[in-house]
Structure 1
Amino acid sequence: MNIDDLLLSKLEKLSALKIADEKREETKENLSEIVAFVEILNELDLSSCEATVSTVNASSPFREDVAIKSDVVGTVLANSPKHDENFFIVPKVIE
């Protein structure tokens, strides 16, 4: 697949990047090389290979999910200049 100016412009828009005019040709060549490499990888016969997520044959130890009572609200409000019950009191900023 060859990357042309139209496709590069679309990629610029999608990625929210602006490629400098002097770098456009180099970028098109680099992207074309990357796509060509991926196309070569697509030719590999991987039907006999099992899909893997990790190369390590171990499972992740999970901790037991236990609910713990915490007074985070009280701690945070204790450090606030003004509060009323569970809410901060702040100066009015919109008239």
Structure 2
Amino acid sequence: MKIDNDLLKKLETLSSLKIDENKREGTIAQLSEIVEFVENLNELDLDNEEATFTTVAGGTPMREDIPNVNPDVVKTILSNAPQSENGFFVVPKIIE
């Protein structure tokens, strides 16, 4: 894939960014290097490789899930919050 000025304009529109005219050539060069690097990954022979792997032989050891609530920690954390109520953070509503 070749990065040119037309593609850069499309990327600007999609990302809602504006690139200065004096930085356009440098940006095109940097994006071209990134695309070349990613295209090199297509040359890897991964036919004999598994899609996933684990570093833990025999699986993950299980532990008992015991909740531990320290009221002093909760009070300390909420004391730094701009607003809290009933042990929870109060945040502005963002969805109508």
Normalising by the residue count of structure 1, what TM-score does the alignment of the two structures yield?
A: 0.56
Specify the alignment match of 1:41 in structure 2.
41
**1:7 Cα deviation from its structure 2 partner:** 0.3
| 1:5-84 alignment, distance < 5 Å | 5-52=5-52, 56-57=55-56, 59=60
Q: Which amino acid aligns with 1:18?
A: K
1:63 Cα deviation from its structure 2 partner:
7.7
Unaligned runs of 5+ in 1: 65-75, 78-95
Distance 2:23 2:42 in 1: 29
> Which of the pair has the greater relative contact order for Cα pairs under 8 Å at 6+ separation?
1
Give, in whole Å, the separation in 1 of the partners of 2:12 and 2:38: 20
- The CA distance in 1 between the partners of 2:12 and 2:61, in whole Å, is 39
- In the TM superposition, what is the alpha-carbon distance from 1:61 to its structure 2 partner? 5.7
Instruction: Report the Cα offset of residue 39 of structure 1.
Output: 0.8
* Superposed displacement of residue 23, structure 1: 0.7
What is the identity, as a one-letter code, of the residue corresponding to 1:7?
Answer: L
Aligned residue-pair number: 68
Q: Which one-letter code corresponds to 2:43 in the other structure?
A: E
RMSD (CA atoms): 2.9
Question: What amino acid does structure 1 have at the position aligned with 2:19?
Answer: I
Q: Deviation digits for residues 39-80 of structure 1, max 9, x if unmatched?
A: 111111011111127x6435486987xxxxxxxxxxx59xxx
Moved over 6 A (4+): none
Identical residues among aligned pairs (%)? 54
Greater Rg over alpha carbons, structure: 1
